[in-house]
Amino acid sequence: MCITMNKRRVEKDPSATLTGIFLEIKDGEMYRTKYGPDFEISKHVLDTLSKYNLSSRENASKACPIVLMSFDVESVKYFKGKTDLELNQLIGNWEKGNLSEIAKYADAIGPDIIMLFENPNTYPGKFNKVVEDAHKLNLKVYPWTFRNDKLPAWAKTPEEMYFLMKNQSHVDGVTTEFPDFVVGCYESPYSLGSELQHLSILLFPLLILFLLL
C-alpha cells in the first residue's frame, strides 16, 4: 500500500517526499525462547525485504524508505553489517540505554519521552542532555509516544508539546498517534515562534513518526 501510494505521489509530483515505514521487530527474545537461541526473527525480516529488493537504502529510497527498530538489542544488532537501512534502538529505560554502546551498531535511538527531561513532572519542563549527547555520537533521536489526549506535565497544550520538542530539544522526529494534528501544527504559526519546516510522514503500525527534515 505504501509503495503504491508513493508511486502515485511521484507521478503527480516528481519532487514529492516519499512516505516510508518504521518497521518494529517485536520481542526477539520470545522467539529465541520458543524456537531456540539461534532463531533470529530479524533474519526473516531481512530475507523478506531482500525478496522485494528493499534491503538497502538506495533501493528502498526509490519506493519506500525503511527504518528497522526494536527494543530488543540483539534484534537490532543482527542487522549491523547485513544492511545499510537505518537502525533505531528503542529504549524504555537507561538500563539498556548506553549511548556509546548503541552508537556502535545503530543509527538512531527511540527513547521514552520522559527520558529527555531532568524532571518530566514539572512545568515548564527542563530538557537534559540526552539529545545533545546522542547527536555528538551521530545518533538521531525519535522519542515516543506523543498523545494529544494525555498531555505530559511539561506542556499545557498539544501545540506547546510538539513545538517545544522540536525547537528546544532538537529531536529529529516524534512518534505520535495524532499525525493529522502534527501536520496542522507545522503548517500554522505558533506563539513560541518557530521556523516551519517540511515534514516527511513515515507510516508505522498504530503510530506515525514524523521526521523533521
Tell me the domains of the chain and their CATH numbers.
20-212 (3.20.20.190)
d(CA 183, CA 126): 25
Q: Give me the percent of the chain exceeding a pLDDT of 70.
A: 81
The predicted model scores a pTM of 0.79
Model pLDDT, residue 199: 32
Model pLDDT, residue 197: 34
Tens of pLDDT, residue by residue over 61-91, are 888 889 999 999 999 999 999 999 999 999 9
By the 8 A CB rule, do 157 and 123 touch?
A: no
Model pLDDT, residue 151: 83
Show pLDDT as tens, one digit a residue, over the chain (213 residues). Answer: 666 666 777 788 777 777 788 899 988 788 788 888 788 889 999 999 999 999 999 998 888 889 999 999 999 999 999 999 999 999 987 655 589 999 999 999 999 988 999 888 888 778 999 999 999 999 999 999 888 888 888 888 888 888 787 778 888 888 878 777 776 666 655 544 333 233 333 444 334 444 444
Model pLDDT, residue 203: 40
